[in-house]
Structure 1
Amino acid sequence: MIIARELRKTNIAEYILYMWQVEDLLRACSFDPEKIEQQLVKRYNADEVAGKEIADWYRNLSVMMEKEHVQEKGHLQVIVNLINDLNEFHLKMLAVQIDPEYVMLHQRNQEAITEVMQKTSNDVDNEVGACLNALYGFMMLKLKSSEISTQTQQTIEKLAHQIGHLSARYIQFENDDFEF
């Protein structure tokens, strides 16, 4: 909760990836309040008040995931909506071309983005979602200490750079520090 709150203000892409990880952690705990308390809440070493707030946050997310039928797979609608908003922002950045660096990054990555979208055709319906999916998949492979090809690492670095740039602009836009 503490991390999510800060990421939402500073890096929208990292916030989305973090929330996906939280969803997976809740699934790994089988949405069991005791497991969530032991494996997630206690690692914060928070005082009683903060600990209760953190536990409530996880509990509320668990309830939302149940109500939205995403206990086994999928993502909370609030996160899906955020990805769609970020994709709309991405499309506007490309259409308006106010940020030549972003347009160049996208052109450089277009082939990789298309490839990622083809590989995840049923799961993702927009470019930003595809990039985030690739970044999350890479993060999971690294956590499992899986072997990752040099080409995959290079592709992920390029996608991460583009998504990082987009995310920074999005936060600037939300804070009225960037406009079209």
Structure 2
Amino acid sequence: MQIAKKTKENNISEYVLYMYQIEDLIRANNLSLDTIVTTILKPQIQDESILDAYKVWYADLIKQMKIEGIQKKGHLSDLNEILMEMSLLHNTLINIIKEPKYLKVFEGALPSLKAFQAKSNAGDINLIEIGFNALYSKIILGLKKQSISEASNEAFKSIATMFGFLAAYYKKMKKGELDFANN
């Protein structure tokens, strides 16, 4: 909860990946708040007030997942909204503003994004979501302690670099510091 809040403020890309993990953690615990509290929260959090705040946060997320029908797969509507904003910003940066720095990192990541799209049978989902799926798959591979080839590591690095730039532009956009009209 506190990590999510700070990450959302500082790096939206890291926030999305963090929330993907939280969604999967909730699913792995069968959307059971009691199980999450007993096995994850209580062993790590000694302060009762902080524990109570986390209980409320997880309870709200579980409720939202049930309401939105994403108990098995899918993402919270809040995350989908962020993904859409990031996709729109991405398209604005490359097609309208033609931001040189962003274009360069995007062009560097594009072959990796296309390769991941082909390997994952992702269909026609946008490149931003494909990139998040790729980076999340790297996290999962790391948690499973599976080896990753040098070529795959380079591909993940190019996608992560692009998302770092996109997160910085997103933060500027949210602060009202991006002037789309004068570009």
TM range (shorter): over 0.9
For 1:139 and 1:122, the matched residues in 2 are separated by 18
For residue 143 of structure 1, report the CA deviation from its aligned partner.
1.0
Structure 2 counterpart SS, 1:109: helix
Does the CA-based 8 Å contact 1:124-1:130 persist in structure 2?
no
Q: What are the Cα deviations for residues 134-153 of structure 1, in whole angstroms up to 9, with x where unaligned? A: 00000110111101111000
Deviates more, 1:142-151 or 1:103-112: 103-112
Number of matched residues? Answer: 180
Q: What are the Cα deviations for residues 13-42 of structure 1, in whole angstroms up to 9, with x where unaligned? A: 110100010001111111122211023322
Q: What are the Cα deviations for residues 106-155 of structure 1, in whole angstroms up to 9, with x where unaligned? A: 11222221222223344761011000100000011011110111100000
Deviates more, 1:91-100 or 1:76-85: 91-100
For 1:179 and 1:39, the matched residues in 2 are separated by 47
Does the CA-based 8 Å contact 1:27-1:71 persist in structure 2?
yes
For 1:15 and 1:162, the matched residues in 2 are separated by 15
For residue 46 of structure 1, report the CA deviation from its aligned partner.
4.9
For residue 177 of structure 1, report the CA deviation from its aligned partner.
2.5
Does the CA-based 8 Å contact 1:97-1:103 persist in structure 2?
no
For 1:146 and 1:87, the matched residues in 2 are separated by 30
Partner of 1:107: 107
Partner of 2:36: 36
1:110 is aligned with what amino acid?
A: L
Partner of 1:53: 53
For 1:145 and 1:109, the matched residues in 2 are separated by 25
For residue 98 of structure 1, report the CA deviation from its aligned partner.
5.1
For 1:28 and 1:2, the matched residues in 2 are separated by 21
Gapped runs of 5+ residues in structure 2?
A: none
Gapped runs of 5+ residues in structure 1?
A: none
Q: Does 1:118 align with 2:113?
A: no
- What percentage of residue pairs aligned between the two structures are identical? 28
CA RMSD of aligned residues (A): 1.6
Partner of 1:174: 174
For 1:124 and 1:45, the matched residues in 2 are separated by 42
Under a length normalisation based on structure 2, what TM-score does the superposition of the two structures give?
0.91
Structure 2 counterpart SS, 1:63: helix
Under a length normalisation based on structure 1, what TM-score does the superposition of the two structures give?
0.93
